[in-house]
Structure 1
Amino acid sequence: MKKTFTINISGTVFHIEEDAYDVLQKYLVKLKNHFGNEEEGKEILADIEARIAEIFIEKASDDKKVITLDWVEYVIETMGTPEDFAEVEGDEEETFSSETKRKRRLYRDPEHRVLGGVCGGLGAYFNMDPVILRIIFAVLFFATSGAALLAYLVLWIAVPKAVTTAQRLEMRGQEATVKNIEKSFREEVKEVKESYKKFRESETYTKGKKKVENAGEVTYSVFKLLLKITVLIIGVILIVSGFFGLLGMISSLVIGHSFVQGWPMIWGPEIHFPDILKYLVEPGTVKLGLIAVGILAGIPLLAMLYIGSKLVFRYKSNNAAVGLGMVGVWLVALIMLFVISTGQLSNFRNRSSVVESSNIQCDSCQTLYLKMTEDNYKGNATQSWDLNKLKVIEMNGEKVILGNPRLDVEKASGETFIVSVKKSSRGRTRESAREHASDLEYNYQLKDSMLLFEPYFFLEEGDKWRDQEVYITIKVPEGKSIFLDESMVDIIYDIENTTNTWDGDMIGKYWEMKPKGLTMK
């Protein structure tokens, strides 16, 4: 039993014996070396492989489908080898008429078609001019009241199209040998080149080329004009934004607010740099921080002005030292701000707290009424920052930092109401954090059975913001109640209750402390 291989020739899978495979492989290698690796040679080889596949398919039968050495030798004898068709220069004019003829096969000719190539294929089959056949079909169409059209459509569907060079040779009755396939392919290429050359030399091509060139010039001019207008608009926007942005930044740094705030396309921040740095960092670093922020924001704005002016006025400036210097200054400012920020962040390294608890001296009170005093500072805040609802107000000519406390309710372990105030702060050390927490000022007062809470806690004068917080906890004995006045809505914070009622819905109601927790009466 001989060893077999599975191969693919022109998209068709075959089984081939080992000795036949060796011979066929050597044959194909010879052809590839002869025609080379150029695109033209690859197309010729593809047509040759397609013809070889056709021969193998024709020789295959139901009882024998494996390619043998005899089949391969038949293919080589039929197709020929490179040595067989090596030609001298004088033989290049040889025509196909001298080659071995074979029985013609009907195909549709796609190269000489008007509709489906049927007449072109019939012309090649009968060795007639396709024009004559087209005239005959036209006459028959009228003579048979359209029946000839049906015959044409049937031929269009039934007759295969000559796709490969081998099929086109069969259509003309030529043997599909390697030599004929090569000649046919080269003649087709030559015909295409000559047709293209005639087209290039025609008057139609010259006129069309001129029109295309004129259209291209017009399009280029319009595009160039639109580009200039776009660049000019961008330049103006950059100049305006850069100029007023610089004004806004300088005014924010110097006087604490921007007088161009709200203008379109203008950078006018609501950040009050002098004040915010004054309340956050140590006094000695405020000026350095302002300088660093000014450089970091100012250099990009200056760059906007510079680029915008170049786009509008089109002046040339190749002084790279200025640009590199500005980049260097910007990087130095960035490093300086990073160093300052890193040093100031150490002030928030540790957190500590102090707790002050006191009993409510109201033994006969079964219900404690919780209410907040009037907000005397409402509308007086000069700045409001989202740092635990931190605000800055002006009182007696001095600016004071204040914040909102938070209130919660828990069950008491004894029989007395207890108010616990926890003051918390951060600091460089736990000791400094505890000092900041102790310096917080928060007041509440008891009037009969009513407990009145201040809406704000205050930082001591000169103290810095260190994430200060105040938590108030009302401890209610079991069996006693509280009443939450509507004014408490601003400070109550996530009070647990048996019905899981939202804080905003707890106001205006009585709540009794039961074994399971705070319950609405």
Structure 2
Amino acid sequence: MNKTIIININGMVFHIEEDAYEVLRAYMTDVKRHFAYTADSEEIVTDIENRLAEMFNERLAEQNKQVIVVQDVTEITARMGSANDFDVQDEDSSYNTSGFRAERKLYRDTDDRIIGGVCSGLGHYFDMEAKWIRVITLIITLLWGTGLIVYIILWIVMPAAKTRTEKMAMKGEPINLQNFKKNFDEELEAVRGNLNDLHNSAKPGIRRTGDFFSEFFRNTGDVIGKVVVLFVKIIGGIIIFSGVMSLFFLVMGLIFAVGFWDTTGFQVFPINVINPEYRNPIFFSAFLLLLIPLIALVLFAIRVLFNRKVITRTGSFALLILWITGLGMAVFYGSKVGSEFQEDARFEQTTALKPEPVLYIRQNSAKFLTHEDSLRYDIAKDRFAGRILIDDEDNEIGMATKFDFYIEKSTDGTYSVTKEITARGRNFEAALKAAQKTLYRFVQADSVITFDKYFYLSDNTPYRGHEVKVILRVPENTKLVIDRELNGRLHNYNLDECVPSESKWETPSQWIMTTDGMTCAIDSLRKKREAE
């Protein structure tokens, strides 16, 4: 029966016989004494202790026991080697004391890496230079595209050689004291060589590098600064030119609107919404609201471009007062115009038509000449007798003056056109008066009825939400041939649904008024033929 004790080797607990402990303690004392005067001796001793702990664990697991005996310590320390072995220089350190090459383990070599050290680790494992492994990987990647995938997988699977023991196992070197010392000396020599190279070339290299980067960034900054200044000047010049031209056209627009724009121009929506007595104040307020920001933008561009203040604080305050004045005028007169839309009124006008079994419904795409048009074009009434029309296809005045068209069956067997005219005003009387000044024309010539494209406001009446609804009522069995131009006005039927297939746009749509309303004449004729 032998006495056992518990020891701790770098955080790993072992049960060991007392005499085996004495042998292990004597061994570690020799090792520590040998490395006592070596730089970084603690790191070497720690690596040796870690390796001893790994070997003890492997031996206990192999022999399925729990206590370390003297034989275990003797054999493991023999494999590790003693401090006296440093006096003997082996020709090939890759062979252990038994004469067998040490087993290599697969690790990533992070000391000789380009990306992750995979190729270097494979080179050590297969005893090849890492550059050939890299060349093979690159060729496989370029030809088949799988080299990169394999590299990433190995990068994830292969552990990195971090400790000195792992680095020795990666290179296939026996993990003993001699190789521990050899690896440490090689690392120390490499560090010294790098320090010497750095000492010889660092000062001039750093100086040259610093001068290079200093000059590079200074020149780059100068170039960028000049480009930015040039860009700002170009933008500033564009802003100044555009602003000055806009100011010129704005002033000319105000003069034109206040002094020279005739009454015909005011009939265009939305200008015709403004009361005649409010137009000049509203135009002037809009002028101020646009003028002041344009002036401020031009002055700001001049200040940035020439680095010169061109307006005093008093001038800036005056511009602000003018802009606020324009805003106040716009709000005041805008609210007055808005109050003209409070009430609505409607009245109807019904005109009897001559009865015709077939009616041709057309749209007049020309503009009816008002009294102001006649004066402007110097047209004599006795000469033209109201027959002068101007094509308005290129002078659309907007949806505000377009009428709504409906075709319905007459309940009393008569032919008629009803105009329902609606307008708004400050009160009912004003709304009714505005509605009564709405003009809409249609003309019947035998079986042809021509409807104007737009309605008109007489006596410069401002637009007050005017709406014109035109209802054509015809008795049953009346045939209607309708121009398809009216399809945009007709609301209760789609004219395009009643034309022959692949017909041209000029082909009219033909309908018949029935008890239930209009029916496509083509469908009625087809049904009649089928019935026969």
Tell me the TM-score normalised to structure 1 length. Answer: 0.57
Candidates 416, 419, 422, aligned match of 1:418: 416
Aligned to 2:233: 232
Q: Is the 8 A contact 1:423 1:468 kept in 2?
A: yes
CA distance in structure 1 between the partners assigned to 2:9 and 2:486 by the alignment:
102
Q: What is residue 96 of structure 2 aligned with on the other side?
A: none
Return the offset for 1:323.
4.4
Alignment partners' CA distance in 2, 1:404 and 1:195: 94
Amino acid at match of 2:408: E
Q: Which residue does the alignment assign to 1:386?
A: 398
Provide the C-alpha distance between the structure 1 equivalents of 2:418 and 2:475, rounded to a whole number of angstroms: 14
Structure 1 residue 278, shift from structure 2 partner:
6.6
Larger mean CA deviation between 502-511 and 464-473 belongs to 502-511
Task: Return the alpha-carbon distance in structure 2 between the equivalents of residues 119 and 360 of structure 1.
Answer: 104
The amino acid of 2:490's aligned partner reads Y
1:500 to 497, 501, 506: 497
From 401, 404, 407, give the equivalent of 2:405: 407
Which letter does structure 2 place at the counterpart of 1:436? Answer: A
**Counterparts of 1:355 and 1:290 in 2: how far apart (Å)?**
36
Q: Distance in 2 between matches of 1:504 and 1:352?
A: 42
Distance (Å, rounded) in 2 between the aligned partners of 1:458 and 1:74? 108
Indicate the residue corresponding to 1:464 in structure 2: 462
Distance 2:227 2:466 in 1: 58
The answer as to whether partners of 2:269 and 2:398 remain within 8 angstroms in 1 is: no
Asked if 1 retains the 8 angstrom alpha-carbon contact of 2:496 and 2:509, the reply is no
- Other-structure match for 1:57: none
Q: Match of 1:290, SS?
A: helix
Number of the residue aligned with 1:251: 252
Contact 2:7 2:13 in 1 (8 A): no
2:215 alignment counterpart: 214
Cα distance in 2 between the residues matched to 1:412 and 1:245: 58
Partners of 1:296 and 1:431 lie apart in 2 by 35
Is 2:435 the partner of 1:442?
Answer: no
The counterpart of 1:366, out of the listed 357, 360, 369, is 357
AA at the equivalent of 1:220: G
Q: Distance in 1 between matches of 2:226 and 2:407?
A: 73
Asked whether the 8 Å contact 2:442–2:450 carries over to 1, the reply is yes
What is the alpha-carbon distance in structure 1 between the residues aligned to residue 314 and residue 161 of structure 2? 68
Does the Cα contact within 8 Å between 1:350 and 1:429 map onto a contact in 2? Answer: yes
Q: 1:478 aligns with which of 456, 467, 476?
A: 476
Q: Structure 1 pair 113/348, CA: closer, same or farther in 2 (3 Å)?
A: closer
CA distance in structure 2 between the partners assigned to 1:302 and 1:72 by the alignment: 91
Identify the residue that residue 515 of structure 2 maps to in structure 1.
Answer: 515
- DSSP 3-state at the match of 1:228: helix
Aligned equivalents of 1:421, 1:306: Cα separation in 2: 56
Q: What is the distance in 1 between the residues matched to 2:267 and 2:304?
A: 35
Q: Who is 1:111 aligned against?
A: 111
Alpha carbons 1:455, 1:491 under 8 Å: kept: no
CA shift, 1:207, in A, is 2.1
CA distance in 2, matches of 1:241, 1:215: 38
Query: Does the C-alpha gap of structure 1 residues 174 and 352 become closer, same or farther in structure 2, counting only changes over 3 Å?
Result: farther
Which of 286, 292, 295 is the equivalent residue of 2:288?
295
SS in structure 2 at match of 1:407:
strand
Q: Which string of whole-angstrom CA distances, capped at 9 and with x for unpartnered residues, describes residues 315-369 of structure 1?
A: 256956654654564345334423432331222233332112233353xx32234
| 1:271-326 Cα shifts (integer Å, max 9, x gaps) | x7998787322344333322221121112211232122223322256956654654
Please state how far the C-alpha of 1:386 moved relative to its aligned partner. Answer: 2.2
Equivalences for 1:31-42 in 2 at 5 Å?
none
Contact 2:498 2:511 in 1 (8 A): no
Secondary structure, aligned partner of 2:111: helix
Other structure's SS at 1:378 match: strand
Task: State the Cα deviation string for residues 216-236 of structure 1 (Å, max 9, x = none).
Answer: 222222222222221121111
Question: What residue ranges of structure 2 are gaps of 5+ in the alignment?
Answer: 1-5, 15-35, 53-79, 81-102, 133-153, 178-183, 368-387, 523-532
Residue 256 to residue 285, structure 1, CA distance change in 2 (3 Å): closer
- Per-residue CA deviation, residues 216-268 of structure 1 (Å, 9 max, x unaligned), is 222222222222221121111011101010011111111139x9xxxxxxxxx
SS of 1:416's equivalent?
A: coil
Moved more, 415-424 or 329-338: 329-338
Query: Post-superposition shift, 1:200?
Result: 8.1
Call closer, same or farther: CA 1:326–1:275 in 2, change over 3 Å: farther
CA distance in 1, matches of 2:414, 2:439: 25
Aligned-CA RMSD value: 5.0
Q: TM-score, normalising length from structure 2?
A: 0.56
Q: Aligned in 2, Cα 1:505/1:520: closer, same or farther, shift over 3 Å?
A: farther
User: Could you tell me which amino acid in structure 2 is paired with residue 482 of structure 1?
Assistant: L
In the TM superposition, what is the alpha-carbon distance from 1:483 to its structure 2 partner?
3.2
Residues 91, 385 of structure 1: alpha-carbon distance in 2 compared, 3 angstrom cutoff:
farther
What is the match of residue 429 of structure 2?
A: 431
Match of 1:19 in 2: none
AA of the residue aligned to 2:390: K
Retained in 1: the 8 A contact 2:268–2:397? no
Displacement after TM superposition at 1:489 (Å)? 4.1
112 and 354 in structure 1: CA distance in 2 versus 1, 3 angstrom threshold: closer
CA distance in 2 between counterparts of 1:350 and 1:507 reads 43
Distance 1:97 1:232 in 2: 68
1:347 maps to 2:359: no
| DSSP 3-state at the match of 2:347 | strand
1:111 match: secondary structure? coil
Name structure 1 gaps, 5 residues minimum: 1-70, 80-89, 123-129, 138-156, 176-182, 260-271, 389-402
